[in-house]
């Protein structure tokens, strides 16, 4: 049962090849799964990973799905480095969507150029607020952020459901739990005719560069990392632990909130009960797969977007339920963690 023994030095090679090994293992087990279901693995992979990218429209859809994943993962990576495990980004995304969406519903018709910027700011605030609650509970009452962030996700879905069944429901929507479609002033402008990709892309690009600079250059980022890797050293150096908690949770809440606005003021175009197909959870995998590195996350987010896109394609042409996306996501994280074990360890050479 003891498969591993520690390496003398952590393997830098493994650190960067682990994601590739994880992807390969996921594809291998995935093809076994397809085969067991009586589908040709080759054809399935073609449907899943190649066909979605054979058209310009497909690439635009890939970007649309990659944007929220990359944005949320950038924020989460800050906390993960400091070992602050925010697993409730999904709830923070919903709160961001609600804060931004409220403005979209009630002021969208004004046509003002300020509506969209106001939605973006409100969304960031809403997500930050939903991240600040677990930060308060952790710093003040020592409550585990894993559980509180997750519970707050459930509560956010109930708030969304309450508003969608009541005050914010479209009065002419035949009682469907959804808001009015937003007016143009409350939507991101499309970047090209015939494609859904929109100007929220600039926010994501800006965020990637900002997080890259922050991680590479700032003293605060260094303090966060020391706090995560060597808590005792961080305490000795006098780095404030509470500040780390607040910063990690508020920043990751903010990026999730921004992603929420990106969805409702983008491809979704309204508030409804299906704002996000689990982007907040998938972004956790993206952050780790991207090695908590701003540029690595871009690659990982694009791959995860392809898994989402492939899942949709498999639903249409292979009659498979969209839940197959979740199976792939879970496998990917498992294999990544397994491969990561070989950074600090190696296979035992002989039994002791």
Q: Interface residues with other proteins (CB under 8 A)?
A: 1-6, 85, 87, 137, 140-144, 146-148, 150-152, 154-155, 158-159, 161-162, 165-166, 281, 284-285, 288, 320-321, 323-331, 333-334, 337-338, 340-341, 345
Query: Residue 206's beta-bridge partner residues?
Result: none
Of 28, 30, 21, 1, which Cα lies nearest the Cα of 335? 21
Work out how close the CB of 152 gets to other proteins at its nearest, in angstroms, rounded to a whole number.
Answer: 7
Specify whether the CB–CB gap between 229 and 284 falls below 8 A.
no
Characterise 174 by phi-psi region: left (phi > 0), alpha (psi -120 to 50), beta (else): left
Work out how close the CB of 298 gets to other proteins at its nearest, in angstroms, rounded to a whole number.
Answer: 21
Whose Cβ is closer to other proteins: residue 243's or residue 345's? Answer: 345
Whose Cβ is closer to other proteins: residue 125's or residue 152's? Answer: 152
Work out how close the CB of 130 gets to other proteins at its nearest, in angstroms, rounded to a whole number.
Answer: 13
Whose Cβ is closer to other proteins: residue 144's or residue 184's? Answer: 144
CA 2 to each of CA 5, 6, 18, 39, 341: distance values in angstroms, whole numbers, following the listed order: 8, 11, 20, 37, 13
Work out how close the CB of 271 gets to other proteins at its nearest, in angstroms, rounded to a whole number.
Answer: 15
Specify whether the CB–CB gap between 4 and 332 falls below 8 A.
no
Work out how close the CB of 144 gets to other proteins at its nearest, in angstroms, rounded to a whole number.
Answer: 7
Whose Cβ is closer to other proteins: residue 170's or residue 340's? Answer: 340
Of 33, 70, 62, 73, which Cα lies nearest the Cα of 204? 70
Whose Cβ is closer to other proteins: residue 297's or residue 320's? Answer: 320
| SS3 (DSSP) at 124 | helix
Tally of residues, the chain: 352
- What distance in Å separates the CA atoms of residue 300 and residue 52, rounded to the nearest whole number? 17
Work out how close the CB of 157 gets to other proteins at its nearest, in angstroms, rounded to a whole number.
Answer: 9
* CB-based contacts of 96, cutoff 8 Å, min separation 6: 123, 124, 126, 127, 130, 256, 257, 258, 259, 260, 261
Work out how close the CB of 44 gets to other proteins at its nearest, in angstroms, rounded to a whole number.
Answer: 14
For the chain, the distance separating the N- and C-terminal CA atoms, rounded to the nearest angstrom, is 12
Work out how close the CB of 55 gets to other proteins at its nearest, in angstroms, rounded to a whole number.
Answer: 27
CA 86 to each of CA 144, 322, 335, 352: distance values in angstroms, whole numbers, following the listed order: 10, 26, 21, 40
Whose Cβ is closer to other proteins: residue 18's or residue 234's? Answer: 18
Whose Cβ is closer to other proteins: residue 158's or residue 236's? Answer: 158
Alpha helices in the chain (DSSP H): 12-36, 41-45, 56-81, 89-107, 115-141, 145-165, 200-217, 219-229, 231-236, 241-264, 279-289, 294-317, 324-344
Whose Cβ is closer to other proteins: residue 53's or residue 143's? Answer: 143
Work out how close the CB of 183 gets to other proteins at its nearest, in angstroms, rounded to a whole number.
Answer: 27
Whose Cβ is closer to other proteins: residue 165's or residue 196's? Answer: 165
How far does CA 333 lie from the centroid of its chain?
Answer: 14
């Amino acid at each position: 049962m003891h498969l591993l023994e520690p390496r003398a030095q952590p393997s830098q090679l493994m650190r960067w090849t682990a994601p590739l090994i994880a992807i390969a293992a996921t594809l291998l087990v995935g093809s076994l799964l397809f085969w067991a279901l009586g589908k040709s693995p080759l054809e399935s992979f073609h449907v899943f990973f190649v066909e979605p990218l054979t058209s310009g429209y497909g690439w635009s859809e890939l970007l649309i799905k990659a944007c929220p994943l990359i944005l949320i993962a950038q924020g989460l990576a800050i906390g993960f480095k400091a070992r602050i495990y925010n697993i409730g980004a999904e709830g923070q995304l919903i709160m961001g969507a609600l804060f931004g969406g409220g403005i979209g519903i009630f002021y969208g018709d004004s046509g003002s150029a300020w509506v969209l910027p106001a939605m973006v700011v409100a969304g960031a605030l809403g997500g930050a607020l939903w991240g600040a609650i677990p930060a308060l509970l952790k710093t003040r009452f020592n409550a585990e952020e894993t559980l509180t962030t997750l519970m707050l996700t459930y509560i956010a879905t109930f708030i969304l459901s309450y508003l969608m069944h009541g005050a914010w429901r479209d009065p002419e929507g035949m009682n469907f739990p959804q808001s009015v479609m937003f007016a143009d002033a409350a939507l991101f402008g499309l970047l090209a005719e015939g494609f859904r990709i929109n100007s929220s892309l600039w926010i994501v690009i800006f965020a990637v560069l900002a997080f890259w600079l922050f991680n590479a250059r700032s003293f605060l980022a260094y303090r966060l990392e020391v706090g995560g890797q060597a808590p005792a050293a961080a305490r000795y150096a006098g780095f404030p632990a509470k500040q780390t908690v607040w910063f990690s949770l508020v920043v990751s809440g903010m990026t999730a909130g921004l992603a929420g606005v990106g969805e409702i003021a983008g491809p979704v175009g309204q508030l409804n009960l299906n704002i996000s197909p689990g982007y907040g959870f998938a972004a956790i995998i993206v952050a780790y797969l991207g090695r908590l590195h701003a540029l690595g996350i871009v690659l990982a987010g694009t791959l995860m977007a392809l898994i989402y896109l492939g899942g949709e394609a498999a639903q249409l042409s292979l009659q498979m339920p969209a839940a197959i996306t979740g199976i792939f996501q879970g496998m990917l994280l498992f294999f990544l963690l397994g491969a990561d074990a070989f950074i600090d360890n190696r296979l035992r050479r002989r039994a002791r």
